[in-house]
Amino acid sequence: MKKLANIILAFTALIIVSCEGPMGPPGAQGEDGGLELATIYDIEGDFTSGNNYRFGFTFPGDGIYDTDVVLVYILWEVVDGLEVWRLLPQTVVLKDNGSGETDVLQYNFDYTYVDVQVFLEFTFPESSLLPAETDDQVFRIAVVPADFVALKSVDVSDINTILQYPDIELNMNTKVELETIPKIELE
């Protein structure tokens, strides 16, 4: 009887050891040990009528992945030596122009997997634009994986969240050359 009990016990142990539970959720995919890779570009330029108040650049190589997200920030001001960045689009409501309507200036952007362009949109005559609104504008462009942006713990409105996030590896391209976008005349 003792021999039969040992056989049953061994058989039961074998069954228990060979059982598997459900698979856990997949881990984050990325390069270098699971880190997500983000690329940061800085561009600076002037919005003029000659460039149709638009400039940008072409991403290097074959461009970015279709699953990447592009976020563009404008250097809004420098306070006590600290840079203040704001996520685009950024709308500035200006004074009442005398007609009861308010003038609006908006910094905006668009992108494809090949390039990114920043541009101005405004509701008043271009002659009313001030040099502070158009000249020497600095933008920081972050190309990040969509999975990273979807994390609830990531506040993409704050560039520092991306720059300091522990699970992301940054590829910093300090400054890139601008490309002027030709003005398109509508017929």
Residues spanned by the domain of 87: 30-180
Q: Is 134 helix (H, G, I), strand (E, B) or coil?
A: helix
10-residue mean pLDDT profile of the chain (187 residues): values are 59 54 49 66 94 93 91 95 95 77 93 96 93 96 88 83 80 64 43
User: Is residue 100 assigned to a domain?
Assistant: yes
Asked if 36 and 154 touch (Cβ cutoff 8 Å), the reply is: no
Does residue 69 belong to any structural domain of this protein? yes
Is residue 62 domain-resident? yes
Count Cβ neighbours within 10 Å for each residue of 100-139 and write b for 16 or more, e otherwise.
Answer: eeebebebebebeeebbbbbbebeeeeeebeeeebeebeb
**21 located within any domain:** no
Calculate the CA 142 to chain-centre distance. 4
From 104, 63, 69, select the one nearest 87 (Cα to Cα): 69
Minimal CA–CA distance to 93: which of 133, 60, 66, 58?
133
Instruction: Report helix, strand or coil for 162.
Output: helix
The continuous run of DSSP H or E covering 1 comes out as none
Query: Is the residue at 15 inside a domain?
Result: no
* Best CA proximity match to 168, nearest among 153, 148, 152, 143: 148
Is 128 among the domain residues? yes
Residue 118 lies in a domain: yes
Q: Where are the alpha helices (DSSP H) in 36-172?
A: 131-134, 146-149, 159-164
Residues 70/87, Cβ–Cβ less than 8 Å = no
Q: What is the count of structural domains for the chain? A: 1
Q: Does residue 16 sit within a domain? A: no
